[in-house]
Structure 1
Amino acid sequence: MSDLDNSKIDTSTPFNLKKSASIYLKRWFWFVLSILICLSIAYTKLRYTTPLYMASAKVMLLSDTDASSPDAIFKDLTFFADKEDAKVEDEMEVIMSRDFFIDIVKDLRLNVQHFNKGRIYESEIYKSVPININFIESDSIIDQTNFSFYITIISNKEFEYRVDEDDDPKKVSFGEKIPTSFGGFIITPSSNNLAANFGVDIRTQISSVRYIAESLKSSVYIYQENKASKIINISIEDPIIDKAKDIVNTLILKYNEETMGQKNIKSINTAKFINERVEAIAKDLVGVDDSIVRFKTGNKLTNVADEASQFLTTSMQNEQLLEQSKMQLRQLNFMGASLGDVNSYTPIPSNLGLSDPTIVTLSSKYNELLIERDRLLKSAGEKNSVVIQLDQNLKSLKENLASSIQNSKKSLGIQINSFENQASMFNSKMFSVPGQESKLRGIERKQGIKEQLYLYLLQKREEAAISLTATSPSSKVIDQAYSTGSPVSPNKKMIYIGALFLGFIIPFGFIYVSDLLDTKIHNKEDLEKEIKNITVLGEIPRIKSTLKGNEKLLVEKNDRSILSESFRIVRTNFDYVRRGRSVENYDNIVFVTSTINGEGKSFFSINTALTMANTNKKVLLIGADIRNPQIHFILTGESKPQNKTVGFTEFIVDKSVGVKDTISTYTVNDIELDILLSGKIPPNPAELLMSDRIKELFDYVSSEYDLVIVDTAPSMLVTDTLLISQYAGHTIYLTRADYTEKRILNFTKELHANKKLNGMMLVVNDVNQSNFGYGAKYGYYGDHGKKSFLKKIFK
C-alpha cells in the first residue's frame, strides 16, 4: 500500500460496540471481584441491621357541622355560628403537635427503654420486661434525666448492677434502693418468670422525655389520602410492632381528646352564663311572689274589674316590651363587661336573644376566631404570623363590638323612656280602677314575665348539660393501627440490587475514567487513528518473560510462536510496501528508529534481521545507536566469533579499519546473521556521524547484502538518526503500546510531512494480546491450547 493510498483512507470512526465492550469484558475479573465484595458488604449489613416494621392507621377528619356537635344543640339560640371546615393540612399540623408526643412518651413510658445485650447488637424489650423500675424523685426530674445502667438477674432475689459495661458488678437485692445522681430508684421483679432471664444482660436507658418525643415526631409519617379527601394516614416505623401500634393509636386518642376539650369550652361557658341568669331570675320570682301574697292578704283582693281589662291588656303589653328592653339593656351591660380589656382573650356570650343583628354577628365571629386562635396555639407559638393576624382581627372585632353595644344601649334607652311614658299614660287612664287592683295586676305582670324567661333558661341549661356528654371527637378512626408483620427496612431486594449495581458501576467508572484519561496508544487501531497517512506494518506481541523464563525474546528457526508469526506478518507487509515504492539508492537499507528511548528498537531490529535471514537472504544488522547500544546486551549468551572486537565507532574514527573488519557472523537460534556492533561509546556522536566514512560504509553494505537493518537512535531525543537518514531506503518507525504518548506522535507526523525520514512505515511493539488490532490472534491459527470456560466467554 502506497503513501498516496493511505492519504485517501476514510477518516470517519463509526462507533464500534464490540470494541467498546471489549474494554470492559477483558477486565471481567475486576467486575466479578467488585460485585462479590459489594454483595458481601450488603449481606453483612442485612445480617446485623435491626429490621423495622411499619404500623399504619387511617382516620377521617369530621366537620363541626355534624349532628353531634354542640352547635346543633344551640342552633335556635344562635350562640355559635357555622364555621368553615378546617383545612386538612392545619389539622395534620395539630396532630403533629409536640405536646401530643410528650404525652405519648409519658403515657407509654417510652423514656425508659430496656435492651437485651447480644453479641453484635441490642434488641429492645417492650412488653415482656422482667423488671419494674420505681423512681424516688418526682416525674419532673426523671423526665429530664439521661442515664443508663446494666443488670444481670442471677436469682429470684438478687441481680448484678453496673453503670458501665466494663465496671465490676455489684450484687443488689430486689427492692433495695440504688443511689444515683438524680435521686435513686428501686428495681422490683415483674410478674413474668424471672428464671427465663437468669444470666441475661439487660441494659436500661433512661432518656429525656423531650428527646424521645422529638425522635418520635421525626419518625411519624402523616399524609393525606388524596387532595380532595379528609382521610389521612398516620404511620411509624419501629423495630417492635406492638410499640409502633401503641404509638399511633395513642396519638389518635390524644388528638380526639384535645379536640373534644376545645369543643366543650363553648358549651361550658354558655352553661355558666345561663346558671348565673337562672339564679338571678329565681330570686326575682321569689320576691314577686311574696309581693303578691302580701298585697292580696292586706287588701283582700280576689278579682279584677271588667272595665279595666282593655287598659290592663294594653298596659301589660307595654310593660312586657319595657321589661324586654331593660332585659336587653342588662344583657348589653353584661356583654360589655365580658369584653374586658383589649389584650384579654376570653369567650363572650355570642347571642342572648338580642335584636341587634350586628352584635349577634360580631360576637359569633369573635368566638369563632378565638377558638381558631386557641387551636393554632397548640401547634404554633404566639409569634406565629397566623396567630398575630388573628390577634389583630380579634382586637378589631372587640372594638367594633364595643361600639355596637354602646349604640344599642343608647337606642334601648330611648325605647325604655318611650315605654315608661306610655306606662304613665296607661296608669293615668286607670285611675278609675281601684288603685289596689291596678297594683296587683302590675305585680302579676312582672311575675309572668319572670316565669317565662325562667322556664326558657331552665330548658337551655339542660340542653347545655346534655351537649357536654354528647360532644363527638373531630376524627373517626377508619382503621386502627395495624402492621403486615413484614419488615419494611432494610429492603433486602433493593439492597442486593443496589449492591449489584454498585459492584458493577465502581469498576466500570474506574475503567471508564482511566480510558477517558488514557493518553497512550495500545494497538494498531489506536495508531491508525492518530496517524492516518503512514502505513502500519503490524503489531509485535508482548513477551511476558525474558530468556530466563518460558518464552524467548528472539525468534527461532522454524518457529511457530506468536512472536515469530508477528514478525513474519511485518516482513510480508514490508515486502508488499517495498515493491510498491520506487527507490533508486539504498533500497535494501532499512532504518529502525522511534520517538523516544525504550520503545524496543534493538529488540525489533534483531528479530526483524533474524526473520529476514530465515528466508535464506544475506542480512546485516548494524548497531548505529552509538549513544546507548543495546544489541550486545540482547545477544549476551549467544555464540559469537572470538576475534571481532571493533564496531561502528571504530570504523568511523580509524581509517585503517575496513568494513569487513567490523562485521561478525553470529549464530542465533540456529540462524546465521551478520552483525556490525556499535563499538565504543564516543564523546562526540553527532559530529562523528557527519564523517564521510558513513557513506563509504552504507555504499559497501548496500552492495554486499540483500537487506541491511540499521538500529538507530531515537529521533526526537537526539539528531543522530536524521544526520544519516539519507542513506535509508526505508524507515520503520517504532511505537510501543501502553508506553508511547499520543501527543508525541505529532513529532512523527512532522517528520513524515517534512520528509526527513525516507519511506516511513509504522510498527506497534509490545502489544497486549487482548488488545491486538481487529481482534487478531497470531500463531499457527491461534493458540491450540485448551481454554477455560471463562476465557471462552470473555475472549
Structure 2
Amino acid sequence: MNGQNSTIASTDFSNEDQDFSLNEYIGRYLRYWYLFPIFLFLSLTLAFFYLQITQPIYKTKTSILIKDENKGLSGAQGDILSELSTQFGGNKLVENELEIIKSQTLMEQVIKELDLDVSYTAKDGLRTVSLYKRSPVNIKAEVVTPFALEEPLVIHMEDSTHFRFNDEDKIFTFNQRFNNAWGAFVVTKGVGSDYEDVSVKFTDAKNLAENMLNRLSVEQPNIKSTVLELNYEDSDIQRSKDVLNKLLDVYVQSSLADKNSEASNTLKFIENRLGLITGELGDVEKDVESYKTNQGITDISAESQLFLENIKENDSKLNEVNTKISILESVDNYIQNAGEGAVAPATYMIDDPVLVSLLTKFNELELQRERYARTTSPNNPLLQTINTQLAGTRQSIRENVQNLKRGMAVTKRNLEGINTRFSAGLRSIPKKEREFVGIKRQQSIKEELYLYLLQKREETALAYASTVTDSRLIDAPIATFKPIKPQKLFIWSGAMAAGLIIPFLLINLLYMLNNTVQRREEIEKITHSSILGEIGEMKTVVKGQPGEESIIKMTSRGAVAEQFRALRTNLQYLGDGSCRILMLTSSIGGEGKSFVSINLAASLAYSDKRVLLIGLDLRKPTLHERLMVPNKFGASNCLIGQGHYEDFIQSTGVHPKFDVLTSGPIPPNPSELLSNGKLPILLGQLRTQYDYILIDSPPYGLVTDSALIAEHVDATLYIVRFNYTLLDHLKRIGDLQRARRFANLSVIFNGVNYGAGYGYGYGYGGYGYGGYGYGYYSEESDNKSQNVGSKLKKLLKRN
C-alpha cells in the first residue's frame, strides 16, 4: 500500500501543470504599469523634437510626351514633314529616354547651370531651413578646396552692407574676392532677409548629382502611352521646380544636338562634292567655249545628232555607274575611317536597299554610341554591346559594297563596249564634230551631277532647319500642398506604438532573463508543497537598516504584522496539529530565514505562548545581532556538554514569553556536533517547558546541518524569497517533498512585492486564510505610493 502511494506521489510530482494563465500574463504588465506612461512620454517627446528638427519634404511632379513619329501625322503635308523629320532621326524608345533623363551627366549640367553646388541654410528655432533664392548673401566660387567640402562657411550679417566669417572679428563688405581655407570666391549681396547667420555649404557636383538622382523618379504611368512622369523630392518647393524645368531643358537641348549631328555631317559631304563638281563643270564649259571659238562650230548634222543622242544616253548610264562606284568608294572610305572625323555619306544616293538599310543602322548605332559614351563609362556592358554591333554592321557594309562594286564593274565594261561601237560609227563624222561631241558630252554629265547635288543640298538644309524636339511638356512642375515627409500622423502613431511596445518587450525580456521566483503558483507547480503563509516586503523602518532586518511591533495593525498573525494561525494545520518544534531553513543565505523566525516567535509570544528561539546556525550566526543579545555562550556549549541549557537561555526583551538560545561560540565541527546525540535530548527537555520551539538552522542548499536537525523536529518551514530564490532551488524542495526527508514540509513565501498585478489579490495566509488587501492598514498607507523613479530603479536592481 505504501509503495502504491509512493508511486502515485511520484507520478503527481512529475506532471506539472503548464496551462496558460491569462490572469498571470496580464498581471506581469499590471505589475510594471508605470513603465508604459514613462516610455509613452519619452517616445512622444522624441517624436515632437523630431518633427521640430526635421525639414518637411515636398514632392514636385511634371510630365512630358515622347513623340512617336508613326502617330499623329496624316495627309500630304504630314508625309512631307514625316519624311523630313525621319530623314535624320531614328525612332525613339521610351525606356531609353527614361534612362537618359536620369543620367549623371544631365544632372551635373543642371547643378552647374543652377549653381546648386553652393547651398545656403539658416537656423529657424530647432529647424534648419533652406535659403534658396532667399539668401542675404551670394557666393561665386572660383576655387573650392577639399576643406570646404567638409566644413560649412558661416557668414554673420552685421548690417545690410557688412558681414564677417565664422567667429572672426574682422568685418568685410560685399563684392570682395577672398582667399582662405575654403578656396577663392567673391561674396555679393543677396536679397533682403531676416536671417543674420547664414551657413554656406560647398558640395561636390558628382556627389550632389547622385543624391539628387536618388530623389528623382521617372516613371511611365501607362505602358501603352509614351508619357513620362517625373517626380522630385526636396525641402524647397522653388528649388524642386527649377530642377525639373532645367532638367527637361537640358534633356531637350541634348536631344536636338544628337538629331542635328547626322544632318550636319551630310551637309558637309554635299558641300565638298559640290565644290569639286563646280570646278569640273567650269573647266568643261570653258573647253566648249574654246572649241567652238577655235573651230567655228555652230550646228551638228542630223547623223551626228543621232550618234550624239545614243552616245549621250549610253554615257549617262556609264556616268551613273561611275558615280555609284565613286559613292561606294566614299562609303567604303567612311566605313573604314568612321569615328575619326570622317564625313557621313548620303544614303539617298544609293539604290541598293540592303546597303541603305545597313548604312542607316550603322548611323543609328554610331549616334547611340556617342550618346552613351557621354553618359556612361567605357566599360559599360551596353556601350560594349553597341560597339560589337557597330563592328558587325561595318563588316556587312564592306562586304555588300565589294559585291556592288564588282557588279558595277561588269556593267561599266558592258557600257564601255557599247561606247566603243558607237565611237566606230562616229569615225565617219568629221573630226571636228566628233571632238565637239566629246566635249559637249562631258559638259552635260557635269551639269546633271551638279543639279542633282544642288537639289539634295536644299533637301538636307530644309530637313536640318525643320528639326524639332521629340518631346513636349504636358504639365508644368506642380508641388504638393502638404509635405510628404515627415508624415506627422505616422510619426505620432509610431511614437505611441513604440511607447507601448518597448515596455511590453522590456517586461517580457526581463521575465525571460529573470530566473527567480515571482509568483506563488510557481512554488506550487514545482515543489507541490503547501504554502503556509506569505510575508510581504518590509520597508525600511529605521534609517540605514534594511526592512528585512527589523523586528515587527506585533501590536501593530500593519500588513506584515497581520501576515505573521495569519502564519501563526496556520501553524495549527501542520501535520496533525501537534507540531511544536519547528525548523526554519532555506536554500541559500539572504532569503529571510532569521527575519521570519524572530517575528514568528514574537507573534506566538504575543498569543500567550511560551516560545524559545534556538540559533543552530553554528557556521554564520546572526540571531544575537538582530536581537541585540550576547553570544558568548549558547547552543554549541550545550551540545558539547559545557553547562545546562537553563544557564544559556536569555530573554529577548521583545516579549516576556519570548526567549532565545543563541548559537554560542562557532565550533570547528558543526556537523559532528549536531550528530553527537545530544540535540534530541536537549529538545526533549525544552519541549516540556515551552509551547513552541523554533530552530533557526543553516541553509539546506549550502550545508548538511539542516538535514541533521530535521530528524528531530515536528515540522520544517522552508523559506522562499520573492525575486531572490532561484527557480532551480524550488526543484530541491520538490525533491525533499517527494523523498519525505523533512517531516511536514511547508513553504513560507517571504518578501512578496504586492505591486499592481501580483496574484490578483492574494491574501496573507495559506489554506484559504487571510484575504485582506494589501495597503488596507492606515499606518502603511504612506509607503504604498512610490514615485515612478524609485519603482524603475528597483525594477532594474531586481533584474
Smaller-chain TM-score range?
A: 0.7 to 0.9
Give distance in 2, aligned partners of 1:693 and 1:366: 117
Tell me, yes or no, if structure 1 residue 600 matches structure 2 residue 603: no
Residue 233 of structure 1: CA displacement? 3.4
Deviating more after overlay: 29-38 vs 214-223: 214-223
Q: In structure 2, what residue type is equivalent to 1:725?
A: A
Instruction: Measure the CA separation in 2 of the matches of 1:526 and 1:325.
Output: 109
Q: 1:477 to 1:617 in 2, by over 3 A?
A: same
**Are residues 1:529 and 2:561 paired?**
no
Q: 1:711 aligns with which of 681, 691, 696?
A: 696
SS in structure 2 at match of 1:422: helix
The residue number in structure 2 matching 1:652 is 639
Q: Counterparts of 1:445-524 in structure 2 under 5 Å?
A: 451-524=447-520
- The CA deviation at 1:662 is 5.0
Alpha-carbon distance in 1 for matches of 2:745, 2:491? 58
For the residue of structure 2 that corresponds to 1:579, the secondary structure is coil
* Residues 1:296 and 1:35: Cα distance change in structure 2 (over 3 Å): same
Partner of 1:46: 51
Is 1:545 the counterpart of 2:540 in the alignment?
A: yes
1:102 to 86, 105, 108: 108
Contact 1:224 1:230 survives alignment (8 Å): yes
Matched residues in 1 for 2:319 and 2:342: separation? Answer: 29
CA separation of 1:646/1:397 partners in 2, compared to 1, >3 Å: closer, same or farther? closer
Aligned to 1:317: 313
Contact 1:151/1:159 (<8 A) preserved: no
TM-score with structure 2 setting the length? 0.82
Contact 1:79 1:364 (C-alpha < 8 Å) held by counterparts: no
> In structure 2, how many angstroms separate the alpha carbons of the residues matched to 1:473 and 1:791?
79
- 1-structure distance, mates of 2:415, 2:251: 54
Residue by residue, what CA displacement relative to the aligned partner does 1:90-113 show, whole Å, maximum 9, x if unpaired?
Answer: 433322333323322221122344
Q: How does 1:129-208 map to 2 (within 5 A)?
A: 129-131=135-137, 141=143, 146=148, 151=155, 158-162=161-165, 165-172=166-173, 174-175=174-175, 177-178=177-178, 187-189=187-189, 200-208=196-204
Query: Is the contact between residue 143 and residue 209 of structure 1 (CA under 8 Å) also seen in structure 2?
Result: no
Percent of pairs with identical residues: 28
Give, in angstroms, the shift of residue 759 of structure 1.
2.5
User: Residues of 2 paired with 1:376 and 1:500: CA distance?
Assistant: 51
Q: 1:14 to 1:73 in 2, by over 3 A?
A: farther
Q: Deviations over 1:535-584 (max 9, x none)?
A: 3323211111246799995566676532244334444555335239xxxx
Specify the code of the residue in structure 2 equivalent to 1:591.
M
Partners of 2:34 and 2:106 lie apart in 1 by 57
How far apart are the structure 2 equivalents of 1:85 and 1:465? 23
Q: Secondary structure at the match of 2:747?
A: strand
Quick one: distance in 1 between partners of 2:725 and 2:264? 94
> What residue identity is the alignment partner of 1:767?
V
Are residues 712 and 87 of structure 1, via their aligned partners in 2, closer, same or farther at CA, if it must alter by over 3 Å?
same
Give the conservation status (yes or no) of the 8 Å contact 1:769–1:777: no
User: Of the candidates 49, 53, 60, which is equivalent to residue 55 of structure 1?
Assistant: 60
CA distance change for structure 1 residues 244 and 739 in 2, over 3 Å: closer, same or farther?
A: same
User: Structure 2 matches for 1:102-121, cutoff 5 A?
Assistant: 102-116=108-122
1:64-463 paired onto structure 2 within 5 Å: 85-86=92-93, 88=95, 90-116=96-122, 123-131=129-137, 141=143, 146=148, 151=155, 158-162=161-165, 165-172=166-173, 174-175=174-175, 177-178=177-178, 187-189=187-189, 200-210=196-206, 212-225=208-221, 230-286=226-282, 301-302=298-299, 305=302, 314-341=310-337, 344=340, 346=342, 348-349=344-345, 351-429=347-425, 451-463=447-459
Alignment counterpart, residue 621 of structure 1, candidates 613, 627, 637: 613
Question: Match of 1:47, SS?
Answer: helix
Distance (Å, rounded) in 2 between the aligned partners of 1:189 and 1:713: 88
Distance 1:132 1:588 in 2: 97
What is the match of residue 705 of structure 2?
A: 720
Q: Secondary structure at the match of 1:765?
A: strand
Does residue 576 of the first structure (1) align with residue 573 of the second (2)?
yes
Deviations 1:440-494 (A, max 9, x none): 6666666665555544443332232222232232433232222114333333333
Q: CA deviation at 1:375?
A: 1.4
Tell me the equivalent position of 2:718: 733
Q: CA deviation at 1:264?
A: 0.9
CA distance in 2, matches of 1:11, 1:285: 117
Compute the displacement of 1:254 (Å): 0.7
Give the stretch that moved more between structures: 702-711 or 50-59: 702-711
**CA distances 1:182-208 after superposition (whole Å, capped 9, x unpaired):** 996555546x56xx66x9344445555
Range with greater deviation from structure 2 (38-47 or 213-222): 213-222
Please tell me whether the aligned partners of residues 350 and 364 of structure 1 are also in contact (alpha carbons under 8 angstroms): no
Change (3 A) 1:449 1:478: same
Cα distance in 2, alignment partners of residues 75 and 649 from structure 1: 121
Q: CA deviation at 1:181?
A: 7.5
Distance 1:41 1:423 in 2: 100
Q: 1:693 to 1:409 in 2, by over 3 A?
A: closer
Is residue 664–residue 675 contact of structure 1 (8 Å, CA) maintained in 2?
yes
Distance between the aligned counterparts of 2:21 and 2:735, measured in 1? Answer: 30
Distance 1:228 1:704, change over 3 A: farther
Distance 1:483 1:729, change over 3 A: same
Q: Comparing 550-559 with 34-43, which one deviates more in the overlay?
A: 550-559
Unaligned runs of 5+ in 1: 581-585
Once the 2 structures are TM-superposed, how far is the Cα of residue 246 of structure 1 from its aligned partner?
Answer: 0.8
d(CA) in 2 for partners of 1:379, 1:62: 22
Q: 1:24-75: CA deviations, max 9, x gaps?
A: 2322223322222232233223223333333222234344656799x98698
Distance of 2:679 and 2:554 partners within structure 1 = 33
CA shift in 2, pair 1:753/1:180, >3 Å: closer
Whether contact under 8 Å (1:695, 1:727) holds in the other structure is yes
Structure 1 letter corresponding to 2:705: D
What RMSD, in angstroms, separates the aligned Cα atoms of the two structures?
4.3
- For the residue of structure 1 that corresponds to 2:24, the secondary structure is helix
The structure-2 alpha-carbon separation of the partners of 1:370 and 1:175, relative to structure 1 and needing over 3 Å to count, comes to closer
In structure 1, what is the equivalent of residue 795 of structure 2?
A: none
- Indicate yes or no: 2:762 matched with 1:776: yes
- Mapped to 2, the partners of 1:429 and 1:209 lie a distance apart of 79
Cα gap change, 1:543 to 1:413, in 2 (>3 Å): same
For residues 411-459 of structure 1, what are the alpha-carbon distances to aligned partners after superposition, in whole Å with 9 as ceiling and x for unaligned? Answer: 2122112112112323444666777777766666666655555444433
Kept in 2, the 8 Å contact 1:143–1:208? The answer is: no
- Give, in whole Å, the separation in 1 of the partners of 2:434 and 2:38: 116
2-structure distance, mates of 1:455, 1:53: 61
Q: Distance in 2 between matches of 1:682 and 1:185?
A: 92
Q: 1:291 & 1:328 partners in 2: Cα distance?
A: 26
In the TM superposition, what whole-angstrom CA distance separates every residue of 1:630-673 from its partner, at most 9, and x where no partner exists? 44444449xxxx9x99643343334652x55555666746x844
Deviation at 1:758, TM superposition (A): 2.1
- TM-superposed CA distance for 1:175, in Å, is 4.7
Stretches of structure 2 that go unaligned for 5 or more consecutive residues are 765-769, 792-799
Q: Which amino acid aligns with 1:598?
A: G
Letter in 1 for 2:573: Y
> 2:580 pairs with 580, 588, 591, which one?
588
Structure 2 residue identity aligned to 1:95 = I
Change (3 A) 1:72 1:464: farther
